[in-house]
Structure 1
Amino acid sequence: MSLPYTDKFEMWLREHHNASYAPSMEAYMRNQFPFLGIKNPERVALTKQFWKEHGFPKADEGVQIAQELWQLPEREFAYTAMMILVKLRKELEKSHLEVLEGFVVTKSWWDTVDIIADHLIGYYLQQFPELIPASVEKWLVSDNMWLQRTAILFQLKYKQKTDVPLLFDCIRRMADSKEFFIRKAIGWALREYSKTDAEAVRAFVATTELSPLSVREALKAIHRSELK
């Protein structure tokens, strides 16, 4: 009897663990998660090799495998789960939003949440824009900092398609947060949009009470362009 796909991959990756790298990788993530000690370039190469030999899971099977990998303790499995979901994102259906939110609120830290917010939920909501108002409202009023960060960041790659009133409203509502990751997200979102409309961002920053960190991050790209 052959092993399930997830079990095969787990065994495959564990065979390449590197105890000498694991402590520094864990320390970088403030020792919140154990690591196998496999650096990203090697992990990506190993994963692609595994897919070549065992095939790539499709649609619902792939989502299920990503969820199973997410439950494994070492962080490298979570990174691979996100790789699978990014490759499957064109196949995601409306019903998968709850799955994506589940990834945001479990084992949460910036290294996973930012990829999910930008590359997965951001892409997903472009396919199902009718879900945006209710989803963003739910995230903003939640007590979960990572869902709130997602509400601010999901439009990072939208450029001219950015819903600017929504972005600015999200930021205003979160502007008094004392959380570093919220303040940083505000600055990051504004900085990215400033590459599309610098004047809009400049005016917003000038008329909105933001933390010094958010302001500094928001105006970085504008200041760089002024120095050229």
Structure 2
Amino acid sequence: MKKTWHHQDIIEKFEANRNEELAGPMAAYMKGHFPFLGIKSPLRKQLLKEHFTEYTSPEPEQLFEEVWKLYNLPEREYQYAAIALIEKMKKHLTLGDFPVLLEFIETKSWWDSVDSIAPHFVGQLVKMDREYGEKIMLEWSQSDNMWTDRSAILHQLKFKQQTDTELLFMIIKQHADSKEFFIQKAIGWALREYAKTNSDIVTNFVEGNSLKPLSKREALKHFV
């Protein structure tokens, strides 16, 4: 029988595997934005797999309360664990969860957390109701927060044939002149990923619009 969920058990597992020698280089890789425990990705995923096997999941109505208990801890591995918990229970996400996902995006923001939350969880919600999701994404795309803008650009990253190209191109054009590195990269990444499904429409879009060199280079790098 599985044990009852408690976030403290994850903390104990992670603390038992703290590695100060690895923590410094890992923090440096993230430009010093976050402290690290020094648990590399393969071990972290193994520890979480063991935990999810050994313990029950939280009740759906307690999901985000439990996620925040991990996400608010200082070390970056706890944000990864929090995101893994959402992934484990993503079938319980609803359209009402856009605001809390936005809060995660705008809290302890960096590319690693945003690029997990936007394509996987935000994209899932948009697919539930495309009309409502488009409205929310257009609101996000006009945010003063760069990471929220990036999320709007990337939310269809895994949609393939289900991509709403009109929405994708509309949001990209809103940010085509951005000087932000992470916005330029997101534009290129979103276009490059969709090019795997429809290279012609991406090529035509890139050729017909004024994009920053980085965005254009990223968009076309694998098929030109």
TM-score normalised to structure 2 length: 0.94
- Confirm or deny that 1:28 pairs with 2:12: no
- CA change 1:21–1:207 in 2 (3 A) is same
Superposed, 1:19-168 pairs within 5 Å as 19-168=20-169
Distance of aligned partners of 1:4 and 1:52 in 2 relative to their CA distance in 1, 3 Å threshold: closer
Q: How does 1:182-201 map to 2 (within 5 A)?
A: 182-201=183-202
Post-superposition shift, 1:52? 2.5
Q: Distance in 1 between matches of 2:42 and 2:78?
A: 14
Partners of 1:41 and 1:74 in 2: CA distance: 17
Question: Which blocks of at least 5 consecutive residues in structure 1 are unaligned?
Answer: 224-228
Taking only aligned residues, the RMSD between alpha carbons, in angstroms, comes to: 1.4
Q: Cα 1:4–1:193, aligned 2, differ >3 Å: closer, same or farther?
A: closer
CA contact (8 A) 1:118 1:156 kept: yes
Q: Secondary structure at the match of 1:69?
A: helix
Q: 2:115, 2:188 → 1: CA distance?
A: 14
Work out the CA distance in 1 between the residues paired with 2:131 and 2:209: 28
CA displacement, residues 128-157 of structure 1 (integer Å, 9 cap, x when unaligned): 323222211211211000010011100011
Q: Percent identity at matched positions?
A: 45
Unaligned runs of 5+ in 2: none
1:226 maps to which residue?
none
CA apart distance, 1:4? 7.6
1:207 aligns with 2:213: no
CA distance in 2, matches of 1:79, 1:15: 17
- Alignment map for 1:172-183 (pairs within 5 Å): 172-183=173-184
What is the total number of aligned residue pairs between the two structures?
221
Could you tell me how far apart the structure 1 residues matched to 2:131 and 2:205 are?
A: 26
Q: CA contact under 8 A between 2:63 and 2:86: conserved in structure 1?
A: yes
For residues 126 and 4 of structure 1, the distance between their equivalents in structure 2, rounded to whole angstroms, comes to 30
Spell out structure 1 runs of 4+ moving beyond 3 A: none
Alpha-carbon distance in 2 for matches of 1:92, 1:26? 31
**Bigger CA drift: 76-85 or 11-20?**
11-20
Deviation at 1:64, TM superposition (A): 1.8
Q: How far 1:190 sits from its partner (Å)?
A: 0.6
SS of residue in 1 equivalent to 2:21: coil
Deviations 1:163-221 (A, max 9, x none): 00110111111000000000000000110111111111111111100011001011112
Distance 1:219 1:4 in 2: 46
- Give the Cα separation in 2 of the matches to 1:7 and 1:90: 24
TM-score, scaled relative to structure 1: 0.93
SS of aligned partner of 1:46: helix
